[in-house]
Amino acid sequence: MYDSASNETMVSGTIFDNYAKLFLIKFSISEERKSILDDTAQKINSDPMTAEMSEQFHKRLGVRLNNSSNAIEGLDLTLSQTELILENEIVALSPEKIIDVVGHEKAHKVVLRILKENRDLTIEDVLKINNSVLSGGDNAGCFRKPGMLARIRGRRVVTAHPVEIPGLMQKIVDYFNDRAVHVLDRLVNFHVMFVRVHPFVDGNGRTVRLLLALLSLRSDYGLFMINKNKRVDYFDAIAAWEDDCDTEKMGALFYQSMLEVHKIYTDSLRCKCVLA
């Protein structure tokens, strides 16, 4: 695929873009589902929580996001164990598990700072989130360098050549920031493009799921997350995109996940309590 390519063509990312059809095939939400999601989002925003309740509520959601995202990567912790680690309680767990939880929390705080600044996402933000997720290290917070080829566990998938990654990621970040595109479409398409490029040596999944949370929060759609019980469905949806350029499975999963998140919000608003 790259044998006769010029440096200019490589840097542009067009070879992998054409091969993987990154920007050619995109998910588009149906008008019916768009109406349902927009309606529930409007209900959430029309009856806002008090500042104190919102702070506690989103703190609890952050714990759930941490636990779910790490569980998708194979970390077998309960929600209570995750919460204890974040409260600096002494827990009888391996240092590696504690580092993963703490790293995710640091990255989540980066996301919240970007949200508070009310600005577009940048490449530097993406690098910073990945660096936090991995708690620093030799390959943390930087795109794969020449010679660093990505291997996706259990899959034979071609990912982007390291030389192509910066150009491709700038295009993907630009798409993330395109507010003219419906939020669910951006969630699905940004995710599949990011994972297909696989820009980092490690932490790609946790980084992209934190970015999905940022996107949904910035769009007043609540904090998007994927239930850890949907782990198999999630990886099946990724495989459907990588093998057959099929985004419908991911779109259906993200639609249901967004509805579940909206229900957490509406239930909490109904009882004026923190249910997350």
Residue set of the binding site: 202-209
Q: How many Cβ atoms sit within 10 Å of the Cβ of residue 261?
A: 26
Residue positions forming the annotated binding site for ATP? 202-209
Residues 6 or more apart in contact with residue 214 via CB below 8 angstroms: 111, 114, 115, 121
Residues 6 or more apart in contact with residue 15 via CB below 8 angstroms: 1, 2, 5, 9, 161, 164
Query: Could you give the CA distance from residue 276 to residue 268 in angstroms, rounded to a whole number?
Result: 8
Q: How far is CA 97 from CA 71, 92, 94, 176, in A?
A: 11, 10, 6, 30
The answer to whether residues 131 and 143 touch, using CB atoms and an 8 Å cutoff, is no
Query: Could you give the CA distance from residue 238 to residue 251 in angstroms, rounded to a whole number?
Result: 11
Q: Which of 58, 104, 191, 198 is catalytic?
A: 198
What is the chain's Cα-based Rg? 19
Tokens of 114: 């970007």
Tokens of 23: 């920007």
Residue 103 per-residue DSSP state: H
Residue 198 annotated among the catalytic residues of the structure: yes
Residues annotated catalytic, as ranges: 198
